Amino acid sequence: MKVTTPAPTRWPVITKDPAHLAVIPNLVDYDRTYATFRWADEQRTLAGLADGRVNIAHEAVDRHARGDRAGRDALRFVRADGSVRAVSFAQLADETDRFASVLRRLGVQRGERVFSLLGRAPALYTTALGTLKHGAVFCPLFSAFGPEPVCQRLELGSGSVLVTTRSLYLKRVADERGRLHALRHVLLVDADGAPEPDTLDFAALIAEAPPYGRIAAMDAEDMALLHFTSGTTGRPKGAVHVHGAVTAHSATGRYALDLHPDDIYWCTADPGWVTGTSYGIIAPLVHGVTTVVDEEEMEPERWYGILAEQHVTVWYTAPTALRMLMKAGADRAREHDLSSLRFVASVGEPLNPEVVVWGLEAFGLPVHDNWWQTETGGIMISNYAAMDIRPGSMGRPLPGIQAAIVARDQTGSPVVRGGAAELVTDPDVVGELALEPGWPSMFRGYLDEDERYRRCFVGGWYLTGDLARRDADGWYWFVGRGDDVIKSAGHLIGPFEVESCLLEHEAVAEAGVIGVPDDVAGEVVKAFIELKPGYEASDALQRELIGFARKRLGTAVAPRRLEFVAALPKTRSGKILRRLLKARELGLPEGDTSTLEAGR
């Protein structure tokens, strides 16, 4: 099969202007750091507990609360009206101690699962870190989930405690409580002294809690977090993570996000997803930086206001959010004083080169893409602060991470010879992105799905399910999810390449690309387009967009068909659901849509 690699980017490399970097980046010399990095050395930068024991919450909270950062803001919650509630490291230590104490009083044992179903309010952070302090397992649920996804996950994860609000409990859980056999305690954060039947008052329990005493000393391999994947490809999987993962949260916070002690940092991801926990709670707190939390939903004016008023220095967001800001125009950004901002990073989906470069226009800074997944627990491949950017590339592997491209056969299966996976050595040839197992935040299993877990490891490598290529200099380029890649007339086409090209057209706000069956070519490319405000769907515009893509990508790769839509279907974490576009196109069952954003 002839393999069409993504066209070499038409975008010039963005070289870093040292003047843009207010402080010396943590990763000045990539090659040297990569060559000399050892996880054991990284582990020694953490405080640790006696006898080699560890607890994520100790690294994130207690050691700062006992040191010179006690009075510093750990979290700053920006409420709907713009007012701010700040919580210092010392206060966070106290609150989380109390919650750990509540769990002990309720008879919750180590390893039991404590679920949260909460918006981004203080109780969510208290629950997460207090649960870890007690040695129980924290499992966050996204607050916008409907009853079925909530109960399905509570059931799959055998949740014994749920912390939520009165209305979420009544709307999502109360009617299904009978089927949740493991669920012993429901704590309502807004019970106001009058709990619902069979629930407890979170605030009252916290207020009465006795001192916790010593934090649970955990083995590095003890389970700490249970994270369900986004469900982009189907039924969500429960990925198991351990306390030892904190070593990776620390390293990636330093190298990929370039966190420095005085940073004001904002991660826009909801802790209902792995990004919002690994990088919205753990990594920044481990580094003792101040984390901004927006309690509301995304809206350009509000977001620029927060960046400016909170003097955010490091911002971690997602392509879907950036595309929405782009839609509103770069002028909106320039109306605000964003001079504190020195580093912008993105994750969750491929970041179109157009968006990377738009960052220069809007913030005076390029956007740094990085790649990882729920299973990897932390960032694996990244564009770094001091490194030049090749727009459209995910960057280079993090120090301590061995990445490779595994060859695939005609059927798309990895090629294994003599027990070893065959690695692609030629630059720019597409294969499956793989990682050498052994980094601290690697998932230790899919909950109750051992066989599925085992199938992820082939010939000494963890297979990510994503297709990518590596250029001659070691930069990685995302091609598509294995399932989303289109096979047309002997070509292998990554939807990302086609979507990025369409996004370069001034009328296009978002693009989702799939393959649809074709008698002659096997599959042909079809694009679904969301237009920017001020543009009308028409046959002329349809022809123009197809012509635009043909000129840039050639007829083999450009979409043959194109349809305008009001909104693309997305997961709640903001990922385009191509499998749903395809199912709808072909009139097939929609499959698991539990993570589909409402109204899509």
Please, what is the minimum distance in Å from the beta carbon of residue 373 to Mg ion?
5
For ligand ATP, the binding residue among 55, 96, 160, 233 (CB under 6 A) is: 233
Residue 432 contact partner, candidates Mg ion, ligand ATP, none, CB within 5 to 8 A by sort of partner: none
Determine the interface stretch with ligand ATP among 65-73, 190-198, 307-315, 460-468 (rule: CB under 6 A). Answer: 460-468
Q: SS3 for 59?
A: helix
Q: For Mg ion, give the closer residue by CB, 252 or 573.
A: 573
| Contact between 397 and ligand ATP per CB under 6 A | no
Please, what is the minimum distance in Å from the beta carbon of residue 231 to ligand ATP?
4
Please, what is the minimum distance in Å from the beta carbon of residue 61 to Mg ion?
30
| Contact between 231 and ligand ATP per CB under 6 A | yes
Which tokens go with 472?
A: 């001659």
| Contact between 432 and ligand ATP per CB under 6 A | no
Bridge partners of 14? 389
Comparing C-alpha atoms, which of 50, 27, 72 is closest to residue 382? 27
Residue 347 contact partner, candidates ligand ATP, Mg ion, none, CB within 5 to 8 A by sort of partner: ligand ATP
Q: Tell me which DSSP letter residue 414 carries.
A: B
Q: Which residues contact 482 (CB under 8 A, 6 or more apart)?
A: 412, 432, 465, 466, 467
Q: For Mg ion, give the closer residue by CB, 96 or 229.
A: 229
- 595 backbone φψ class: left, alpha, beta (φ>0; ψ -120 to 50): alpha
For ligand ATP, the binding residue among 373, 393, 441, 593 (CB under 6 A) is: 373
Chain-centroid distance of CA 82 in Å reads 26
Determine the interface stretch with ligand ATP among 183-191, 368-376, 400-408, 551-559 (rule: CB under 6 A). Answer: 368-376
Residue 481 contact partner, candidates ligand ATP, Mg ion, none, CB within 5 to 8 A by sort of partner: ligand ATP
**In 64-221, at which residue ranges do the beta strands (DSSP E only) sit?**
73-78, 84-88, 113-117, 137-141, 159-164, 185-188, 200-201
Q: Which long-range contacts (CB under 8 A, 24 or more apart) does 150-156 make?
A: 150/117, 151/176, 151/179, 151/180, 152/594, 153/115, 153/228, 153/236, 153/238, 154/115, 154/180, 154/182, 154/183, 155/179, 155/180, 155/182, 156/228, 156/238, 156/447, 156/448
Q: For ligand ATP, give the closer residue by CB, 6 or 231.
A: 231
Q: For ligand ATP, give the closer residue by CB, 276 or 288.
A: 276
Q: SS3 for 356?
A: helix
Q: For ligand ATP, give the closer residue by CB, 212 or 273.
A: 273
> Rule CB under 6 A: which of 481-540 touch ligand ATP?
481
| Contact between 400 and ligand ATP per CB under 6 A | no
Q: How far is CA 32 from CA 247, 330, 400, in A?
A: 20, 37, 12
For ligand ATP, the binding residue among 116, 232, 277, 310 (CB under 6 A) is: 232
Helices (H), 427-470: 450-454
Chain-centroid distance of CA 236 in Å reads 15
Question: Residue 547: CA atoms inside 13 Å, Cβ hemisphere, count?
Answer: 6
> Rule CB under 5 A: which of 219-278 touch Mg ion?
229
| Contact between 229 and ligand ATP per CB under 6 A | yes
Please, what is the minimum distance in Å from the beta carbon of residue 575 to Mg ion?
10
Chain-centroid distance of CA 441 in Å reads 14
Q: For ligand ATP, give the closer residue by CB, 76 or 570.
A: 570
Cα–Cα dist 265/259, whole Å: 8
242-277 burial code (b ≥16 CB/10 A, e <16)? bbbbbbbbbbbbbbbbbbbeebbbbbbbbbbbbbbb
Burial class (CB in 10 A: 0-12, 13-18, 19+), 435: buried
Please, what is the minimum distance in Å from the beta carbon of residue 481 to Mg ion?
8
Cα–Cα dist 234/83, whole Å: 39
Residue 394 contact partner, candidates ligand ATP, Mg ion, none, CB within 5 to 8 A by sort of partner: ligand ATP
307-340 burial code (b ≥16 CB/10 A, e <16)? bbebebbbbbbbbbbbbbbbbbeeebbeebebeb
> Rule CB under 6 A: which of 144-183 touch ligand ATP?
none
Q: For Mg ion, give the closer residue by CB, 55 or 376.
A: 376
Cα–Cα dist 554/508, whole Å: 19
Please, what is the minimum distance in Å from the beta carbon of residue 592 to Mg ion?
13
For ligand ATP, the binding residue among 374, 488, 500, 594 (CB under 6 A) is: 374
Please, what is the minimum distance in Å from the beta carbon of residue 108 to Mg ion?
30
Residue 216 contact partner, candidates ligand ATP, Mg ion, none, CB within 5 to 8 A by sort of partner: none
Q: Tell me which DSSP letter residue 339 carries.
A: T
Please, what is the minimum distance in Å from the beta carbon of residue 451 to ligand ATP?
16
Q: For Mg ion, give the closer residue by CB, 10 or 452.
A: 452
Cα dihedral 417/483/471/315 (nearest 10)? -130
In the shown chain, the binding pattern of residues 108 to 147 toward ligand ATP, with x for contact by CB under 6 A and - for none, equals ----------------------------------------
Report how many residues bind ligand ATP under the rule CB under 6 A: 24
> Rule CB under 6 A: which of 339-358 touch ligand ATP?
347-351
Q: For Mg ion, give the closer residue by CB, 335 or 448.
A: 448
Residue nearest to Mg ion as judged by C-beta position: 229
> Given the rule CB under 6 A, which residues bind ligand ATP?
229-233, 236, 347-351, 369-371, 373-374, 394, 464-466, 478, 481, 573, 575
- Which spans of this chain sit near Mg ion (rule: CB under 5 A)? 229
